[in-house]
Amino acid sequence: MTTKSQETHPRYDKPWLSIDEQCKKLETHGMQGAYANRECLARIGYYRLSGFWYMFRKIDSGNHSRSSFFMSGSRFNDVLRIYEFDRELRTTLFSAIACFEISLRARLAYDVGSKDPFLYLKPALLDTAMDPIEYGSFINKYNDRRTHSREDFIKHFKHEYDGQLPIWAATEIMEFGTLRKLYELLPYPMRTDIAAKYQLNQATLKSWLGCLNFIRNLCAHHGRIYNRALTVSPSINTELSELTHIGPSSKKMYAGIAILMYLLKQENETTPIAQLKDCISAVPADIPQVDVARSMGIPTNWQEEKLWQLL
């Protein structure tokens, strides 16, 4: 079946290019050092690296879009520097989010368990405004994880009991996205109590969990962090003094990093905090064609902000 979009748009017809042809195209268009780094180009891939040299492309004065030609002095080595920075940041972010994820699991397990160890299986006791379809999606994802899990404790509950897990066991097999959904489905007072442990209101924590889930998925699938807009951006409570330098809202990646920093500080997680600070400190700052920090929303004097003062 042909869609209307397929009828009005031409099929992609650019040809496959060998590595040497890719190098020639890049250097012909003004990118210096492509041939010298052909092995890196072959190992990483032209299309993947194109997201990192995009900001090196000239802006067409006529239609204000990016030209296929590069700015004067553009160097492939600088593209690789940004790529390496992105890789280190992605790895550091993934590890830092994992630290927060563990604390979130613990808090959900403790607070929900104190009310009813099987509350998550009782939709009538969850949020009164809950969408039954959302709950169905949540429980289906959870059941799928439980069914396919090879954890010994799952076998224990299947052999010794009816197979249903108390919340402190159930959260151990929930992915970040499922934990996020569990939080959203909890009764309002319970969401408020959990958020208060992070010095937040429930609406803000809900927003932040959505943003961190987006970033985590990017990291897990090796997505580009550099110059990436947050399609799920966090709401910033202007009463939080550590975050006033961001503004009420931001779609830049720095906003996501900042809220993660704030949450880690609430949990006294000094190691991931120090690692994130070291990683941001290594942002390439001497590339004439590209302001890497600005493209990610990193403030000029970010180290001086209250948020980045170590515990």
7, two tokens:
């009828």
H/E segment holding residue 69: strand 66-70
Q: Is the pLDDT of residue 1 over 70?
A: no
In this predicted model, what pLDDT tens digit does every residue of 21-56 receive, in sequence order?
999 999 999 999 999 999 999 999 999 999 999 999
In this predicted model, what pLDDT tens digit does every residue of 111-153 receive, in sequence order?
999 999 999 999 999 999 999 999 999 999 999 998 888 888 8
Beta bridge partners, 32, equal 75
Distances (CA, A) of 292 to 84, 85, 228, 276, 304: 13, 10, 11, 16, 19
Picking from 277, 142, 141, 111, the residue whose alpha carbon sits closest to that of residue 205 is: 111
In this predicted model, what pLDDT tens digit does every residue of 183-198 receive, in sequence order?
999 999 999 999 999 9
Question: Within the chain, where are the H helices?
Answer: 4-8, 19-28, 38-44, 46-53, 76-115, 132-148, 152-160, 167-170, 176-185, 188-196, 202-220, 253-266, 270-281, 292-295
In this predicted model, what pLDDT tens digit does every residue of 142-169 receive, in sequence order?
999 988 888 888 888 888 888 889 999 9
Picking from 110, 181, 193, the residue whose alpha carbon sits closest to that of residue 142 is: 181
CA distance 178 to 153: 19
**In whole angstroms, how large is the CA radius of gyration of the chain?**
23
pTM for this one?
Answer: 0.92
In this predicted model, what pLDDT tens digit does every residue of 199-249 receive, in sequence order?
999 999 999 999 999 999 999 999 999 999 999 999 988 788 999 988 766
